[in-house]
Structure 1
Amino acid sequence: MSMHHAFELLIAAHIITGAPGLAGFWVPIAARKGSRLHRLSGQVFVGLMLATASFAAMMATLTLLEPLATHPKLAGHEIFGHPEIIRGIFGWMMLFLAILTINLAWYGRACILNRTDHARHRSPLNISLQVVLTAAALNCAVQGILIGQWMMVGMSIIGFATVGTNLWFMLRSRPQPLEWLTEHIKALVGTGISVYTAFLAFGAVRYVPELALSPLLWSIPLIVGVSLILYHQRAATAPLRRARTKAAA
């Protein structure tokens, strides 16, 4: 099997798992929190995101090995036709986004599973995921500088911020009440941000390459996602705030 055919098979698997995941993202968002629908749809979403991100990581690896063989349609393109640009954006940055998605999906799931035993967050696997994401973010930034793609440097900041906030919670000896819930919301909505960003950007490159580097295109998932995080975090902690206000009165 040629490199191109293997890459095309991975694209198909990526779409098969990613498309229902992108659509299913909105079910736990809209469902009543804690309901059976919310729990089941959330579990399905996490599973699909782990799968689609794994396929993306494989696609990125093949791109790093053979950039033009995996992206023959970009050969000769004014911006994306150079092997080093393809490696940078479709290789190193896609690999970073795949690792970011895996990190967030796993962490969001762990926030629920470990809500009554905070020490379990400090397992070797969870700590290793933060180390791997840090390395991927740093490499994405360095590779972006080397090829003059500052968008890659900007994307890496999301990885550093994710690791920083994850560790801030994981390493605390006594987290605040419901902090596990706000972290759960941050992580799984963040997973959606990561996948929608990749979907819009890399999809645009395949069909309308000129849009791929548009800051507006990249900012849409981030703006929508952060708004959802802030709204749902505030809604989730509203009962606790009301109880504290009543106790202080």
Structure 2
Amino acid sequence: MEHWVFHTLVIAHILAGATGAISFWVPVIGRKGGPAHRKWGQVFTLALLCTGSYAVCMSLLSLYDPMGTHPQLVGRFDEVFVRGFFGHLMLCAATLTINLAWYGWMLVRNRGNPALNRTPAMYALQVVVIATSVNCAIQGWLMDEKLLIGLAIVGLVTGATNLWFLAKDKPTREDWLKEHVKALVGAGISVYTAFMAFGSVRIFPELALHPAMWAIPLSVGMTIIIWHRLAIDRAARQRRRAGLQAA
């Protein structure tokens, strides 16, 4: 029964993830703040929330029955590896994706009143991503898999920086814009990493833990985040200069 449920979740996960991966580029490349940016940004966010939710269910099933849910890996990897990679690691990645997508969306929706972001649900999301990251780090240490520890560090930093921003008294326009970019591009990094890393296990299992499968999406995503942060700073300087000239 769980095998059938698992593969149904896989199909839904792939469809939602592909939608997110494609729609990601419209707000990234297009004009910021316009109708297309808002429309496709919402499509991306909803797709990532679905993708992460399906992944949470898949990870829990993998923890319950690792080899039953991944029969194609029998004889290639042992139960400890499958449970660690498709259970603990995927659970951490899934909660991180949900966290980033929701956090980034709420920042732009509540940009006029950042206090609206300080909800029990938002704080609970930070606690969940920190908890799954700590678990992922512990499992990585027990398995001697640095990849699990690396993702755990990303999750811990995300949860901590999100809490720091939520506690900020009077964030500026530039502050929430940078956080918005960090969160939603971070969610984009996660969906492309999932396609390259988790997806490769089904086609080329030996490439699943290859550093390139994780480094390429991270490098591209960080480049996008840095570029947009610099663009936000440039726009802020231009507005200040225009204000001084007008005065």
Q: With structure 2 as the length reference, what TM-score do the two structures score?
A: 0.95
Deviation at residue 177 of structure 1 after TM alignment: 3.3
Q: Tell me, in whole angstroms, the C-alpha distance in 1 between the residues paired with 2:167 and 2:48.
A: 26
Question: What's 1:56 paired with?
Answer: 55
Quote the residue 1:3 is aligned against.
Answer: 2
Alpha-carbon distance in 2 for matches of 1:13, 1:61: 16
Aligned mates of 1:73, 1:206 — CA distance in 2: 8
Q: 1:222 maps to which residue?
A: 218
Give, in angstroms, the shift of residue 98 of structure 1.
0.5
Q: Percent identity?
A: 47
One-letter code of the match for 1:155? Answer: L
Is there any run of 5+ residues in structure 2 with no aligned partner, and where? none
- Correspondences of 1:99-110 after superposition (within 5 Å): 99-110=95-106
One-letter amino acid matched to 2:207: L
Paired amino acid for 1:82: D
Give 1:245 shift. 5.1
Q: Distance in 1 between matches of 2:227 and 2:179?
A: 13
String of CA shifts for 1:5-59, please: whole Å, max 9, x gaps. 1111111111121112111111111111011000000001000100011111111
Q: TM-score, normalised by structure 1?
A: 0.95
User: Which one of the candidate residues 145, 170, 174 is aligned to 2:170?
Assistant: 174
4+ residue runs of structure 1 moved beyond 4 angstroms?
245-249
User: Which deviates more from structure 2 when the two are superposed, residues 36-45 or residues 16-25?
Assistant: 16-25
Mapped to 2, the partners of 1:50 and 1:177 lie a distance apart of: 25
> How far off its partner does 1:239 sit?
2.1
Deviation of the 1:238 alpha carbon: 1.8
Runs of at least 5 residues in structure 1 that lack an aligned partner in the other structure: none
Q: Tell me the number of residue pairs that the alignment of Structure 1 and Structure 2 aligns.
A: 245
The answer to whether 1:148 aligns with 2:144 is yes
Partner in structure 2 of residue 46 of structure 1: 45
C-alpha RMSD over aligned residues: 1.4
Distance in 2 (CA, whole Å) between partners of 1:243 and 1:26 is 27
Q: Report the alpha carbon displacement of residue 190 of structure 1 after superposing the two structures with TM.
A: 0.4
What is the Cα deviation at residue 218 of structure 1? Answer: 0.7
